[in-house]
Chain A
Amino acid sequence: MAKIDVSIEHKHPPEPDDGKPHPNTCPKCGSHYRDDELDAHLRVCLHCGHHFPVRAPARIRQLADPGSFVEEAADLRSDDPLDFFDLRPYVERLAEAEVSTGLGEAMVIGRATIGGRSCQLAVMDFAFMGGSMGRVVGEKFALACEGAADQGVPLVSITASGGARMQEGILSLMQLPKTVCAVEELQDAGSAMLSVMSHPTTAGVLASFASLGDVIVAEPGALMSFTGPRVVQQTTREKLPEDFGLAESNYRFGHLDAIVPRPELKDFVAKFLRLFGHVE
């Protein structure tokens, strides 16, 4: 458990210039942080425990033993099978996401050791088009499963996704059965899968591989609903419970094995790898 540094005082966040709060301002308690402060504390609010989003490279740095991560399939890029154009062309959105995130797609995969144990990692990045799953994300996840099966090591999946990528139309829906089949092949080969859901893991990713781990955990406060709260509210006019779709609610209803705060996650993953890391 990271030691909480109470010496950092509440600071006044900068005035939002586009109506959105500053990304380093805690949406729960309003505490504001410098980048280095947040990173030093795994991007968890020191005052209220809110978990800020973590980019895929930072997540890998938090979890993998230093220097152990070897990225795979980094050169995979999406094309535009439908010539999709909404308010802007899909290819333009892809190019922009690549420039702004420095990533080729919304998932990073590779080999690593965690606590000295080998595993395969598949880590999603919400900053790349909302972590949406198109064909490249599906392909990378399938490759990660195959890599884990080949080496006889467990797969650790960390998700952050709004769901299927609409710009790839029906082909993005097909990533659900594709990743489901990949998990089945992995499990038939005797390798285990740990699914860690971070905020948010919704729709198509929740309804496919993320829900199929041998062990399924989530970070505190992570939204994990198939349909988002706004759509449920608008369609049904139902009054939503305060914790609608959150990890805490999912845990209470029996859909999760544990809620693991980020400072404890590395130890939890290492324990999982000690328990499941041997293929008979």
Chain B
Amino acid sequence: MSSEAELRLRERLSKLSRMRLLGGTRLSGELKRLQEQLERVTAEPTGEEIWEKVELARNEDRPYTLDYVERLIEDWIELHGDRGRADDSALVTGVGRFRGRTVALIGNQKGRDVKERTRRNFGMAYPEGYRKAMRVMELAQRHRFPIISLVDIPGAYPGVAAEQHGQGGAIARSQAVMSRLEVPIVACVIGEGGSGGAIATALADQVLMQENAIYTVISPEGCAAILWRDAGEKKKAAAAFRPDAVHCLELGVIDGIVPEPEGGAQLNHDEAARLLGASLEAALEELEGLPGDELKRLRRAKFRAIGSVRTAAR
């Protein structure tokens, strides 16, 4: 191993030992498994392993937003419509009780079967969806409800009407609304965190990722089509930009990793929900003591600082 590679590995290890990878763990057996996982993730993943993450993140049996709502939220009232044009069922919003407090929840929602997938546009929101999210965030601000945002979107919807209805502007303004809120915001990528569609609802005080989720600037297929001029090179593209949670944590893009049941969240929805619930609660508890203007200031400062740049010439 070259000394530079060793140095990087040491850096990774020191970062990983400080991270909240173990959030929500209760059983000692689980701790052991996570310890093994910790060891596994400190090794450089191969291209094949990264691609496995992509496939797990897209697994059709993975719990979606409403599966978590069902398991974690009491007294749920789903809120429909953007108060302008339509109700976008690719992005669900609502209010409910989460561990003793009222929260507003926003989440992308894919469909389980062909019919529901079509109705929910495969989880890809229209601008109307982002507008619904914005109005619910403003509702949360009025009533001082913390916000939970569950992110699971392949990417913004590439359609004519979506563009005509102002997709770019809606994604920009949704982020702007989030940067103005004075209530705690916790986001978690629970599957695919795809590009602008994901960041539209992920400008949060704490951004978490499930162990097998991915967070990307563009889909591996899209990246391959542009840079390799061949969408078939998706595995190479994924290996090059490494969308996995550990990498995102190392880059300072996320604040913590939420463990999943052995083999992935798709195998045990209840356990996945328990682990997610524990992480969300821990994150909210950390934020709830801070005054609103301080939350806003810290949130902006955090995104201002992501990805340092240097002034020296190459």
Contact = CB atoms under 8 A, between A and B. Distances in A.
Interface of A: 75-79, 81-82, 84-87, 91, 94-95, 135-136, 138-139, 142, 164, 166-178, 180-185, 202-204, 206-212, 224-227, 231-232, 235-236, 238, 240-241, 244-245, 249-250, 253-255
Contact of A178 (B226, B228, B303): B303
Contact of B241 (A77, A84, A91, A240): A84
Given A75-B311, A87-B227, A226 B303 contact: no
Interface string B191-218: 0000110111011000000000001111
Contacts of B158: 227, 231-232, 235-236
Given A166-B227, A170-B215, A231-B158, A211 B307 contact: no
B39 to A, nearest CB: 23
B7 interface: no
14 contacts: A77-B311, A77-B314, A79-B309, A86-B228, A87-B228, A135-B307, A170-B248, A171-B253, A173-B215, A203-B196, A211-B168, A238-B159, A240-B160, A244-B160
Contact of A212 (B166, B176, B253, B304): B176
A236 B159 contact: yes
A196 B118 CA distance: 37
Given A85-B240, A142-B304, A170-B253, 11 more contacts: A75-B313, A77-B309, A82-B242, A84-B241, A138-B307, A171-B306, A176-B171, A176-B196, A181-B303, A184-B176, A207-B196
Contact of B175 (A142, A168, A177): A177
B216 A173 contact: yes
Contacts of A183: 176
Contact of B171 (A75, A207, A224): A207
Given A177-B175, A183-B176, A255-B166, A170 B311 contact: no
A203 B223 CA distance: 13
Nearest to A205: B168
B251 A184 contact: no
Contacts of B168: 202-203, 206-207, 210-211, 224-226
A173 B217 contact: yes
Q: Of residues B179, B242, B309, B310, which shows the largest number of chain A Cβ atoms within 10 Å of its Cβ? A: B309
A192 B100 CA distance: 42
Interface string B49-73: 0000000000000000000000000
Nearest to B250: A81
A168 B217 CA distance: 9
B218 A86 contact: no
B167 A207 contact: yes
Contacts of B217: 164, 166, 168-170, 172-173, 204
B143 interface: no
Contacts of B159: 227, 232, 235-236, 238
Contacts of B203: 177, 180-181
Contact of A135 (B163, B241, B309, B313): B309
Contacts of A208: 171-172, 175
Interface of B: 156-160, 162-169, 171-173, 175-176, 179-180, 195-196, 198-200, 202-203, 215-218, 222-223, 226-228, 236-237, 240-243, 247-248, 251, 253, 299-300, 303-304, 306-314
Q: Of residues A171, A185, A207, which shows the largest number of chain B Cβ atoms within 10 Å of its Cβ? A: A207
B169 to A, nearest CB: 4
B225 to A, nearest CB: 8
Contacts of B171: 176, 207-208, 226
Contact of A169 (B162, B198, B242, B311): B242
A226 B240 contact: no
Contact of A166 (B198, B226, B242, B307): B226
Contact of A81 (B175, B226, B303, B307): B307
A267 B216 CA distance: 41
Contacts of A169: 216-217, 240-243, 251
A257 to B, nearest CB: 12
Contacts of B165: 253
B297 to A, nearest CB: 10
Given A172-B217, A184-B176, A82 B240 contact: yes
Contacts of B228: 86-87
B310 A79 contact: yes
B254 to A, nearest CB: 9
Contacts of B241: 82, 84, 166, 169-170
A111 to B, nearest CB: 19
A218 to B, nearest CB: 12
Contacts of B172: 176, 180, 206-212
